[in-house]
């Protein structure tokens, strides 16, 4: 019987996975979409081997299912289709929050294995038209297994990650993942949109330096998606923002006091930490927003 990888949602990440996984071992890559226009585009551009609007039929034949949809959609999808996933199959996701998704996976029957996944690649764009076959080259692939996750499925995910070009596979807990992403990704989006909230934003139009453009690059975000990510990870993100606010307050206090030596010492300490962080960094790493 032909083996199948089913990818639910052919947006930026799902579409890129469908392109990158073509030819993997002896699997056929099947995309599941909601709109015929998306199916037509995918077929015309080789995004997957097959595309269907019949979700239940595809899930029943899947050996592996990737849920490449928004976090809240993923939670609903697991509940809606809990009886459609093929017994003995692997179900995984690509969401940038893991605790809420692992909790939602509890609805699945014991015969269906779920492993949380997060390929750390992406851009500020969305939609199948921005999908890239090389999206995952050099990226970390994070997995958050459940206690009962099957070793053969973990090994399969590792082979797929290697096939699509990921640098490594990192196993961690949902809590550790969510704390890290709150700091390295979600807080950066809060900073970007906060800078754009300044009342003087348009007074400076045309005078933005590269540091300003870099800082605000991700501010033109997908509002619905990032509202979900922030909300589902609100505890970890709130903690990261508390630490950021304390650091900003320390710089403001040094400025207001006129203590140049204190300011210089803080700047030197921060710059040295950034230098340490960049040691060994690979400039060819993929975008991750």
Cα 40 to the center of its chain, rounded Å: 26
Residues 151, 77 share a domain: yes
Integer Cα distance of 60 and 39 in angstroms: 19
Residues 240, 165 share a domain: no
Say if residues 115 and 154 touch (Cβ distance below 8 Å): yes
Residues 9, 149 share a domain: yes
Determine, yes or no, domain membership for 12: yes
Residues 153, 39 share a domain: yes
pTM: 0.88
- Residue 170 has φ and ψ, to the nearest 5°, of -115, 125
Determine, yes or no, domain membership for 11: yes
| Final residue in a domain of this structure, among 121, 148, 171 | 171
Residues 132, 11 share a domain: yes
Say if residues 166 and 50 touch (Cβ distance below 8 Å): no
Q: Residues 25-82: pLDDT tens digits?
A: 999 999 999 999 999 999 999 999 999 999 999 999 999 999 999 999 999 999 999 9
pLDDT for the residue numbered 284: 47
Residues 183, 157 share a domain: no
Sheet holding 168-171, edge to edge: 50-52, 27-32, 3-8, 64-67, 90-93, 113-119, 140-145, 168-171
Residues 186, 156 share a domain: no
| Final residue in a domain of this structure, among 171, 188, 209 | 171
pLDDT for the residue numbered 283: 47
Residues 150, 84 share a domain: yes
Q: Quickly list H helices, the chain.
A: 12-20, 36-44, 55-61, 71-80, 99-104, 151-163, 174-181, 187-196, 210-215, 223-232, 234-257, 260-278
Determine, yes or no, domain membership for 14: yes
Residue identified by tokens 């007074």 is 203
Q: How many domains does the chain have?
A: 2
Residues 10, 70 share a domain: yes
Can you give the residue range of the structural domain that contains 237?
Answer: 177-278
- Residue 120 has φ and ψ, to the nearest 5°, of -85, 70
CATH of the domain at 64: 3.40.50.720
Residues 152, 24 share a domain: yes
Residues of the chain with pLDDT under 70: 280-288
Annotate 213-248 with b (16+ C-beta within 10 A) or e (fewer).
eebbebbebbeebbebbbebbeebbeebbeeeeeee
As given in the structure block, the two tokens for residue 75 are 């939670």
HSE (side-chain half, CA atoms, 13 Å) at 119:
33
pLDDT for the residue numbered 264: 97
pLDDT for the residue numbered 272: 96
pLDDT for the residue numbered 122: 85
Question: Across the chain, what does the average pLDDT equal?
Answer: 94
Residues 195, 144 share a domain: no
CATH of the domain at 236: 1.10.3660.10
């Amino acid at each position: 019987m032909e083996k199948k990888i089913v990818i639910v949602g052919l947006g930026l990440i799902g579409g890129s996975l469908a392109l990158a996984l073509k030819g993997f071992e002896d699997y056929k890559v099947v995309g599941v979409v909601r709109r015929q226009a998306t199916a037509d585009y995918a077929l015309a551009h080789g995004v997957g081997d097959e595309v269907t609007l019949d979700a239940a039929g595809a899930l029943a034949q899947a050996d592996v299912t990737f849920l490449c949809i928004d976090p809240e959609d993923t939670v609903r999808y697991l509940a809606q289709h809990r009886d459609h996933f093929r017994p003995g199959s692997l179900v995984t996701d690509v969401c940038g929050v893991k605790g809420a998704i692992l909790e939602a996976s509890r609805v699945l029957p014991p015969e269906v294995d779920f492993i949380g996944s997060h390929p750390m690649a992406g851009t500020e764009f969305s939609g199948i038209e921005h999908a890239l076959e090389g999206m995952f080259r050099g990226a970390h692939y994070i997995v958050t297994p459940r206690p009962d996750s099957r070793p053969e499925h973990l090994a399969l995910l590792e082979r797929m990650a290697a096939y699509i070009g990921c640098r490594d596979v990192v196993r961690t807990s949902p809590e550790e993942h969510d704390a890290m992403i709150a700091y390295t990704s979600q807080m950066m989006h809060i900073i970007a949109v906060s800078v754009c909230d300044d009342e003087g934003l348009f007074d400076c139009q045309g005078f933005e330096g590269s540091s300003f453009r870099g800082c605000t690059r991700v501010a033109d975000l997908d509002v619905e998606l990032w509202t979900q990510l922030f909300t589902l990870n609100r505890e970890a993100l709130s903690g990261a923002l508390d630490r950021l606010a304390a650091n900003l307050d320390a710089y403001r206090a040094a400025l207001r006091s006129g203590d140049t030596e204190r300011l210089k010492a803080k700047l030197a300490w921060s710059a040295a930490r950034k230098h340490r962080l960049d040691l060994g960094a690979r400039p060819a790493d993929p975008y991750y927003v």
